[in-house]
Structure 1
């Protein structure tokens, strides 16, 4: 079974997904007229003025923390180790490249999610890829397909990956049985699942920035402590990225392919650009200025935080310690723990275990909110079905704590590819709308006014929008 999923993953990621992601990112860079980069300074203002949420919505800050909670999972730790193991140091360079491309994809998908959002029966803002597939493309069947992929990934397998990494990290640090760790994570997650979206986001807005800052400061601090080794580390990354070290042995092409594939895989799993997950958070936000592009810019910053700070910190720790598994049985989390322990001493493995625990817990809780959101799209959000979803999440957490990690990674890679292909197809079909939104934002910024999206200017789009979401322009925050 592991060999089967590994084979399917290699087919999907060997060339198809890499080319698709690269093409989509470059396409949206030009279609958006580079608006995300030209007005990246608007990020701080949008985040500041969007802090106070309207009734039935999240603030821009809360939406960013919710999306970061799923992005900042164990994929930023164990996943980076997995990328280095399979693709070598060069995978880190291609992870960076994928992130730059992914920023434009994230901008496009999150702007679309904001545009096509709607209110549910409780007047809570909802939206995401399934909604813009139905409203923007008129293809509810595609939205249903995407929602099912998301339920499988974020409701089941990705939660198993988080609990597996956490259980292995705690077992290595403190010799706590994996099942005990799984039970503790399941209980904590269930407590917040029962409390709902508002309580979850209030918790995440404090925990997510704190845990991210902890790892960034620790990993870059340790790296600077070993600053004399950093030039050799970066030289190794760049040489391996293009296969220069292997050119003399005739393995250059194979090594380059492995580096690119591993880098793109782990980058997408970590920052989730193109997968269609973060749009679920972006749609729930009432951001300022009241324009879909403002939330696209805010969510784009999540890619920067995730890949260029958190993932890079993990990579530096592993490369500085020259970490390499002695056996395939060693998990990515254990490899990172051994590396940290080698660099800072005995407290290193415990510190990594704490970080993994925080990353896993926040990811599981945020994953559940995405899964429930898509259950609402499927119109299957009865009390019975919500209870079944929560039960499935708990079961997968428990089973994940006992699974062998490579199996879960391969299954996750396959579902991730299917999910991304569906979402990328949709946003490419909707690229004229992305271009229109970017032009509208650019026009108003050049006029020196606060960008406000007025659907009356675009009758064709207005007919696709949910009633009430863009009819009234909210007042500027004081």
Structure 2
């Protein structure tokens, strides 16, 4: 186990110390500039593509469903536990770098999801299928690299990331259990009995979550989309409402907190809300946790973006939808968590971090109900992340040629990882997640940069038609020299 941890640490040093810490920002800046600051100039278009997306066809899900499934994966522990971890390790300035990753990441998310739509095809079940594996294989002509990406996606999203989500649910339940055990002197008289009961409770939580997830994922992607469409908007809305109430209750301190986040990111203000952090630590942790939360450039959300029937019928429209997902995830939900923590009378520490820090912060604002609310929010955010992550892994299995048997095996493995992850140490689980995420993101960033000319051409087509008042409909026949691997039946 020590050797495995050493290998994972070295991989994380490589990915996050050299490749992705610069690659993510550079790629986001590259697409921001090349596409004419598309995430700012066309912000209204993102909302329009979602607002007009109620209808679909038998081969796909609606763009709104695709947005909620991607948000189900994005809006999870990264928004509640991950933000708290970023504050603990990097200080308030880490939140600024999360914002920066999101703002430039919106352009990256647009590019990867536009490509996913362009290169989608029909799977063996008739549904649209696609994602990074599709544009790596058919767009770049590198099926071997697409296979590596698919395996990495299955390992990370199908297995490791779902263990992370289960871990967060178990941690959220652990605090009230720990308090209950503290009142029973019998357990503290026998530490072994206390520890066994504590671990058993977490395993039971994992088993319950796995059972509920099984009910959804065995219905396939349409079932996942229906659940996400119902649950995600309600939970995200309630969470943002809690943040707004906390802001109103502490309105006189809000300007200082927000300005302090920016100043602390550049070392101009040492302490914000009782939390300190250095410039390098802020940048490193903000970028890492920002990507873990919004997933821009990771190559995850494009898997569900490809399954959507876009409205209007153009690859760019789903790119706009998924760019909006990054904005909602980080600029709204992550910021809500950060501000609620910084406004509370709590100080991050090695003992008080992750989910427990967020719970303590809401407990300070709302009393016992605040801690209960975080526990409920963690459950629903993490649960929807599990089913959303599974949908990505299923797409990868289909790309690798796995039939019904392969999908069943994946479902069983996902449920097993949920139970396993519930009882593991959070640091171990996050280290595994960082390494797998780093491999996926590296492959995907290289692919979308190599295909950036295609993204630019498709984007020009969409915007040109909007400018003359025409409904943007993409026809591959108008671009005979672009994207030889595109399914011409879909885009005829």
What's the TM-score once normalised by structure 2's chain length?
Answer: 0.91
Match of 1:111 among 101, 111, 114: 114
Q: Kindly state the Cα deviation for residue 146 of structure 1 after the two structures are TM-superposed.
A: 0.7
**Aligned: 1:349 with 2:371:** yes
Which residue of the partner structure matches residue 97 of structure 1? Answer: 100
Q: Kindly state the Cα deviation for residue 227 of structure 1 after the two structures are TM-superposed.
A: 1.2
Which region of structure 1 is more displaced relative to structure 2, 73-82 or 388-397? 388-397
Q: Kindly state the Cα deviation for residue 38 of structure 1 after the two structures are TM-superposed.
A: 2.3
Report SS of the residue matched to 1:459.
Answer: coil
Asked if structure 2 preserves the Cα contact closer than 8 Å seen for 1:173 and 1:350, the reply is no
Change (3 A) 1:336 1:246: closer
Which region of structure 1 is more displaced relative to structure 2, 165-174 or 84-93? 165-174
Which residue of the partner structure matches residue 35 of structure 1? Answer: 38
Which residue of the partner structure matches residue 327 of structure 2? Answer: 304
Asked if structure 1 preserves the Cα contact closer than 8 Å seen for 2:476 and 2:488, the reply is no
Report SS of the residue matched to 1:57.
Answer: coil
Aligned residues: 464
Which residue of the partner structure matches residue 197 of structure 1? Answer: 221
**Aligned: 1:464 with 2:485:** yes
Asked if structure 2 preserves the Cα contact closer than 8 Å seen for 1:161 and 1:400, the reply is yes
Match of 1:10 among 4, 13, 26: 13
Which region of structure 1 is more displaced relative to structure 2, 209-218 or 342-351? 342-351
Asked if structure 2 preserves the Cα contact closer than 8 Å seen for 1:183 and 1:398, the reply is yes
Asked if structure 1 preserves the Cα contact closer than 8 Å seen for 2:67 and 2:322, the reply is yes
Asked if structure 1 preserves the Cα contact closer than 8 Å seen for 2:88 and 2:353, the reply is no
Which residue of the partner structure matches residue 359 of structure 1? Answer: 381
Match of 1:285 among 308, 321, 335: 308
Unaligned regions of 5+ residues in structure 2, if any? 179-197
**Aligned: 1:133 with 2:136:** yes
Q: Kindly state the Cα deviation for residue 381 of structure 1 after the two structures are TM-superposed.
A: 2.7
Q: Distance in 2 between matches of 1:202 and 1:450?
A: 28
Q: Distance in 2 between matches of 1:235 and 1:30?
A: 27
**Aligned: 1:71 with 2:94:** no
Q: Distance in 2 between matches of 1:263 and 1:462?
A: 36
Q: Kindly state the Cα deviation for residue 74 of structure 1 after the two structures are TM-superposed.
A: 0.9
Q: Kindly state the Cα deviation for residue 322 of structure 1 after the two structures are TM-superposed.
A: 4.8
Asked if structure 2 preserves the Cα contact closer than 8 Å seen for 1:64 and 1:302, the reply is yes
Task: State how 1:291-440 maps to structure 2 within 5 Å.
Answer: 291-326=314-349, 328-383=350-405, 385-440=406-461
Report SS of the residue matched to 2:430.
Answer: helix
Q: Kindly state the Cα deviation for residue 43 of structure 1 after the two structures are TM-superposed.
A: 2.5
Report SS of the residue matched to 1:41.
Answer: helix
Report SS of the residue matched to 1:77.
Answer: helix
Q: Distance in 2 between matches of 1:135 and 1:97?
A: 32
Asked if structure 2 preserves the Cα contact closer than 8 Å seen for 1:114 and 1:295, the reply is yes
What's the TM-score once normalised by structure 1's chain length?
Answer: 0.93
Asked if structure 1 preserves the Cα contact closer than 8 Å seen for 2:47 and 2:324, the reply is no
Q: Distance in 1 between matches of 2:285 and 2:414?
A: 28
Q: Distance in 2 between matches of 1:255 and 1:44?
A: 37
- Write the deviation string for residues 371-408 of structure 1: whole angstroms up to 9, x where unpaired: 1110000002332x222211211111111110000111
Q: Kindly state the Cα deviation for residue 232 of structure 1 after the two structures are TM-superposed.
A: 2.7
- Write the deviation string for residues 73-109 of structure 1: whole angstroms up to 9, x where unpaired: 1111000011011111100011101100100000000
Q: Kindly state the Cα deviation for residue 42 of structure 1 after the two structures are TM-superposed.
A: 2.2
